Chains A and B, each alone.
Chain A
Amino acid sequence: MTKTVTDVICPFCGTLCDDLEVVVSDDGKQLLEVYNACAIGAEKFLHSQAKDRITRPRMRQEDGTWKEITYDEAVEYTANMLADAKKPLMYGWSSTNCEAQAVGAEIGEAVGAVMDNTATVCHGTSLIAVQDIGIPSCTLGEVKNRADRVLFWGCNPAHAHPRHMSRYSIFPRGFFTGKGHTGRKVIVVDPRPTDTASLADIHLQIEQGHDYELFDALRVAFKGEKLPDVVAGIPKEKIYEVAETLKSGRFAIIFFGMGVTQSIGKNHNIDAAIAVTRDLNEYTKAAIMPMRGHYNVTGSGQVWGWQFGFPFAVDLSRGFARYNPGETTSNDLLRRDEVDAVFVLGSDPGAHFPFNSVKKIYDLPSVVIDPHETPTSEVCKVHVPVAFVGVEIGGCAYRMDNVPIETRKVVDAPEGMMTDEEFLTRVLARVKELKGV
């Protein structure tokens, strides 16, 4: 006999689908099938069932091989590493639940760490832009129920957020959008002919790195002012057409991704994107939303927001919270040799950071907490495998529109494995002992 668990949340991308159905064995130990997820989401669930999964902490030996250690030993190593360090970096926090993030923040406070999340290489620039100019936004249900103009800029949900378009942005029929796809005009701005672009009514194949100019050109076009013949590789007629399309809608939404947050201009691009959205609100209703990647990177920015007041790059090493991206961001710290230990949880900097930074992690005392073996575990001194959040343990996660959803446990973790929160709680207690607080 098997059981079906409904309303399961997918702990993979910021789309945070919550309608999955998962079939598990009667004893609740094995996950057999996953329905409704996209391919990458289903893979995440099934991967947790890998037979060769590592289930106990490991410490790297002199000769580079791993030796199994107990969770107690891993707690001891981690707590000592953090307590001894002058300025440890505690990085990641995007693929775990808010409960673990909150405990992690307390550890960071106790040891004077720099807390940083994956926004640092992703939407950190967007967060900076929001501090400059604000952000008119909405929940994804507003898009589903109202939006008739949908603009994707520098993102490719067809690959990175596969169910975004069917659940929220292009295809669904909502309260005021009964015609679904046919009632919406879809615009894609991307230098590449992506799968998302192939669904667009208008594809602006912008010249790489000229996003800022095109945003500005749209602002000019809204006002009906004069444009040069070509901006960012796009003929002005096209720009006027897009401006008119956006203005004539009842509700316009702009989604943007790494193609514009991490290309030349960075946060200034997003300033301009948000200014476009502000301007549009003079004519109609408009909103803008970053396509956040990891399923709970948004949550870590929220937790740190209410605990410290800043969404990423929070330096606690002076005893109080400081925030200065460019100085307190992970790669800048690693490159300048400003941190003396590295703790990673819920991310894979080994795969996503520049080689120089990864090399620094390799040279430092380091611990990685991750259910998987990853490129990061390859360069760390201790690897602590944990239960999968959203599969083997529940907990809160924030969708890309900041909507909090409680993930579900669907199967048991292998015997004796700790969760992120349990491990961190133990580390916190030990750190407090070591620090005498």
Chain B
Amino acid sequence: MAEYLIKNGFIFDPVLGIKGDVADVAIKDGKIVETTALSSPKVIDATGKTVMAGGVDVHAHVAGPKVNIGRNFRPEDKLFNCTPGHGIERMQGGFSVPTTIRTGYNYAHMGYTTVMEAAMPPLYARHTHEEMRDTPILDQGAYPVFGNNWFVLEYLKNHEIENTAAYIAWLLRATKGYAVKVVNPGGTEAWGWGLNCDNVHDPVPYFDITPAQIIKGLIEANEYLGLPHSMHMHANNLGNPGNYTTTLDSFKLSEGIKPNSKFGRDQVMHHTHVQFHSYGGDSWANVESRAKDIMGYVNSHDNITIDMGQVTLDETTTMTADGPFEHHLTELNHLKWANADVELETGSGVVPYLYSPNIKVCGIQWCIGLELALLAKDPMRIFLTTDHPNAGPFIRYPRIMKWLMSQEARDQQFDAFKYKDKVIEATNLAGMDRELNLYEIAQMTRAGPAKSLGLSHMYGGLAPGLDGDVAVYDFNPNEPYAPDDIEKAFSNAKHLFKSGVQVISDHEIANNGNKRTLWVNAKANENPQVMRDIKEKFLRYYTVTLNNYEGSGHYLRNPHVIEVDATQ
């Protein structure tokens, strides 16, 4: 493999604690090495440029059944943006739900090298893996959803943590999944009957369990196994005025639980797209920001990490395993609605959405996401996301960096709001003058998410031994710049290395990389009861046989298995 020496860049790396000093980065055999380890490297001149590790996305919807529903049912999302292949690039298309090929390239152009698919319905694991196979460059993993799974509901009704853990281990293996995802716990099962669970104590119809029991039980089972990532949470009551209390109630269920993981994470709950969960008021007329309450809690509890779910003010496509929420949304905006309930496991919905700067609520949502990040005491525990494509497409990450780094940029956006005064009244952002620096951005987009995922031994930094994932941006932090320069530079990396391969050279895709699929092979104690339960459910309730459910794994061309031993 080629050796590279990236010389004289301004380095921003939370892992090494480097805050913009000029230094060199060396890559050899796919890894970062000491510069002395190189013999005849290819030299990349990064003078006057910013150098960071490859970006890591903890939460995006980029592959699988609901993403593809979004593509296929929105031809308008591809209007005027389908492009021919050139060089080694294949044809691409789509804005908010791009084709897999565009997904890979667009992340790479932003300097991202690892992207986690945030919700994989287990029965559709094959589909998810097929799409990830066709997504170039990126290392990926997918989170199977557990929060409405009948096995989980039945075990946790009686607080059977060991059985839940054995089932999780089995399902991760069957689906080649990465982490335990929970979406509207109990609510999506209720949606099987057109109902919902509105708060953590609202019982799940028929199953005689509350969301609180599901949440706490899954955190405990996750720690019982000691998985790399923590339980990954999308709470009940998403998107509704006044829901911040449900969010706090959900946070509190993690209290007193300590992480048990050899993978270096400190949290036991990652709560995703918190912007959607930080609303006060009791109607759309008086909805207001509760970011202060939310961040007050997060800042004082270090066993939680979160991501933003920042609204980008675009036309986009919402999609979530929160089936009842999407139905609610289609009733609000009267746009087309797809729903896909999945036997014994989960559901999902898809609805297009226009976040307009002319609508007051959209402005408030925009403020709340930024407030969360600007109120954060520790940028290692809050990550930059848009819950792609729910609050906006991931290609806007550099724009969000701009908003986070520049009050001037925020003021420009305020001025573009039709109901500027009302938005300001319902939020706190206008009074905030904090401007994040590139070091903090690197925490929010690299080191933080890598650590939360339990992958800080591979990603997120430039320390020798880590994967050779390095991005070089046309950005000189020591020279004066306009806010838009930030967006421009971070949208279009000059060079990008993935596992030591140069995938972008001079802004052009130069190599399709050697993408890996990460999954977690957790070994739990033999559990005959769980195996009996699995056989029984497949015999009686599933419509595929047990033998046809488990993926053969041949969709994973280049699997990277993370072994966890939870036998005891």
Q: Could you tell me which A residues sit within 8 Å of B by CB distance?
A: 6-7, 9, 18-19, 98, 102, 106, 109, 127, 130-142, 144-146, 167-168, 174-176, 250-251, 278, 281, 284-285, 287, 301-303, 305-311, 316, 318-323, 396, 398, 402-406
How near does chain A come to B449, taking the closest CB pair, in angstroms?
Answer: 25
A318 to chain B: closest residue by CB:
B84
Chain A residues whose C-beta falls within 8 Å of the C-beta of B343 in the assembled complex: 138-142, 144-145
Could you mark each residue 90-111 of chain B with 1 if its beta carbon is under 8 Å from any beta carbon of chain A, else 0? 1101100101110000000000
B206 close to chain A: CB less than 8 A: yes
B339 to chain A: closest residue by CB:
A136
* A403 and B544 contacting across the interface, CB-CB below 8 Å: yes
B286 close to chain A: CB less than 8 A: no
* A306 and B134 contacting across the interface, CB-CB below 8 Å: yes
Chain A residues whose C-beta falls within 8 Å of the C-beta of B91 in the assembled complex: 109, 307-308, 316, 319-321
**Candidates A6, A168, A402; contact of B340 at CB < 8 Å:** A402
B558 close to chain A: CB less than 8 A: no
Roughly how many angstroms separate A323 CA and B77 CA in the complex, as a whole number?
12
* B194 and A145 contacting across the interface, CB-CB below 8 Å: no
* A307 and B338 contacting across the interface, CB-CB below 8 Å: no
Which of B68-76, B112-120, B266-274, B396-404 participates in binding chain A? B68-76
- Known contacts A134-B73, A307-B134; decide if A175 and B541 are in contact (CB<8 Å): yes
* B337 and A134 contacting across the interface, CB-CB below 8 Å: yes
* A404 and B124 contacting across the interface, CB-CB below 8 Å: yes
B65 close to chain A: CB less than 8 A: yes
Chain A residues whose C-beta falls within 8 Å of the C-beta of B342 in the assembled complex: 138-139, 141-142
18 additional contacts (CB under 8 A) given A141-B343, A141-B541, A309-B94? A7-B547, A132-B336, A136-B338, A140-B343, A140-B543, A144-B541, A250-B193, A281-B327, A303-B130, A305-B71, A307-B91, A307-B100, A309-B97, A321-B91, A322-B82, A402-B65, A402-B124, A406-B548
Chain A residues whose C-beta falls within 8 Å of the C-beta of B77 in the assembled complex: 309
Interface positions, chain B 310-348, Cβ under 8 Å from A, are 327, 330, 335-344, 347
How near does chain A come to B271, taking the closest CB pair, in angstroms?
Answer: 28
* B192 and A251 contacting across the interface, CB-CB below 8 Å: yes
* B548 and A18 contacting across the interface, CB-CB below 8 Å: yes
* A142 and B341 contacting across the interface, CB-CB below 8 Å: yes
B84 to chain A: closest residue by CB:
A319
B351 close to chain A: CB less than 8 A: yes
Roughly how many angstroms separate A138 CA and B327 CA in the complex, as a whole number?
14
B283 close to chain A: CB less than 8 A: no
* A285 and B194 contacting across the interface, CB-CB below 8 Å: yes
* B126 and A127 contacting across the interface, CB-CB below 8 Å: no
B123 close to chain A: CB less than 8 A: yes
- Known contacts A132-B336, A309-B77; decide if A320 and B193 are in contact (CB<8 Å): no
B78 close to chain A: CB less than 8 A: yes
Chain A residues whose C-beta falls within 8 Å of the C-beta of B341 in the assembled complex: 137-139, 142, 287
B358 close to chain A: CB less than 8 A: no
B139 close to chain A: CB less than 8 A: no
B545 close to chain A: CB less than 8 A: yes
B350 close to chain A: CB less than 8 A: yes
**Candidates A98, A127, A176; contact of B72 at CB < 8 Å:** A127
Chain A residues whose C-beta falls within 8 Å of the C-beta of B158 in the assembled complex: none
Roughly how many angstroms separate A348 CA and B344 CA in the complex, as a whole number?
37
Chain B residues whose C-beta falls within 8 Å of the C-beta of A322 in the assembled complex: 82
Roughly how many angstroms separate A137 CA and B66 CA in the complex, as a whole number?
12
Chain A residues whose C-beta falls within 8 Å of the C-beta of B84 in the assembled complex: 318-320
Roughly how many angstroms separate A302 CA and B63 CA in the complex, as a whole number?
11
- Known contacts A109-B85, A309-B77, A406-B548; decide if A98 and B130 are in contact (CB<8 Å): yes
B residues contacting the other copy or chain, number (CB 8 A): 62
Roughly how many angstroms separate A307 CA and B545 CA in the complex, as a whole number?
29
* A306 and B545 contacting across the interface, CB-CB below 8 Å: no
* B72 and A309 contacting across the interface, CB-CB below 8 Å: yes
Roughly how many angstroms separate A319 CA and B90 CA in the complex, as a whole number?
10
**Candidates A18, A136, A175, A307; contact of B337 at CB < 8 Å:** A136
Roughly how many angstroms separate A429 CA and B85 CA in the complex, as a whole number?
17
How near does chain A come to B62, taking the closest CB pair, in angstroms?
Answer: 10
- Known contacts A136-B338, A287-B339, A396-B130; decide if A6 and B75 are in contact (CB<8 Å): no
B420 close to chain A: CB less than 8 A: no
Chain A residues whose C-beta falls within 8 Å of the C-beta of B351 in the assembled complex: 134
Roughly how many angstroms separate A405 CA and B542 CA in the complex, as a whole number?
13
Interface positions, chain B 123-150, Cβ under 8 Å from A, are 123-124, 126-127, 130-131, 134, 150
Roughly how many angstroms separate A145 CA and B206 CA in the complex, as a whole number?
13
Chain A residues whose C-beta falls within 8 Å of the C-beta of B527 in the assembled complex: none
How near does chain B come to A137, taking the closest CB pair, in angstroms?
Answer: 6
* A251 and B193 contacting across the interface, CB-CB below 8 Å: yes
A402 to chain B: closest residue by CB:
B65
Chain A residues whose C-beta falls within 8 Å of the C-beta of B130 in the assembled complex: 98, 102, 303, 306, 396, 404
Q: 9 A-B Cβ contacts within 8 A? A: A6-B547, A18-B544, A134-B330, A284-B194, A308-B82, A319-B91, A320-B91, A398-B127, A405-B548
* A137 and B85 contacting across the interface, CB-CB below 8 Å: no
B83 close to chain A: CB less than 8 A: yes
Q: Which 8 A-B pairs have the closest CB atoms?
A: A141-B343, A134-B336, A319-B84, A285-B194, A138-B341, A136-B339, A404-B126, A320-B82
B552 close to chain A: CB less than 8 A: yes
**Candidates B63, B101, B124, B547; contact of A307 at CB < 8 Å:** B101
Chain B residues whose C-beta falls within 8 Å of the C-beta of A403 in the assembled complex: 123-124, 543-544
Chain A residues whose C-beta falls within 8 Å of the C-beta of B75 in the assembled complex: 131, 309-310, 323
* A302 and B82 contacting across the interface, CB-CB below 8 Å: no
* B124 and A309 contacting across the interface, CB-CB below 8 Å: no
How near does chain B come to A10, taking the closest CB pair, in angstroms?
Answer: 12
* B543 and A144 contacting across the interface, CB-CB below 8 Å: yes
Roughly how many angstroms separate A260 CA and B15 CA in the complex, as a whole number?
61
* A306 and B541 contacting across the interface, CB-CB below 8 Å: no
* A135 and B193 contacting across the interface, CB-CB below 8 Å: no
Roughly how many angstroms separate A216 CA and B125 CA in the complex, as a whole number?
38
Could you mark each residue 530-547 of chain B with 1 if its beta carbon is under 8 Å from any beta carbon of chain A, else 0? 000000000011111101
Roughly how many angstroms separate A254 CA and B351 CA in the complex, as a whole number?
21
* A306 and B68 contacting across the interface, CB-CB below 8 Å: yes
Chain B residues whose C-beta falls within 8 Å of the C-beta of A321 in the assembled complex: 78, 82, 91, 93
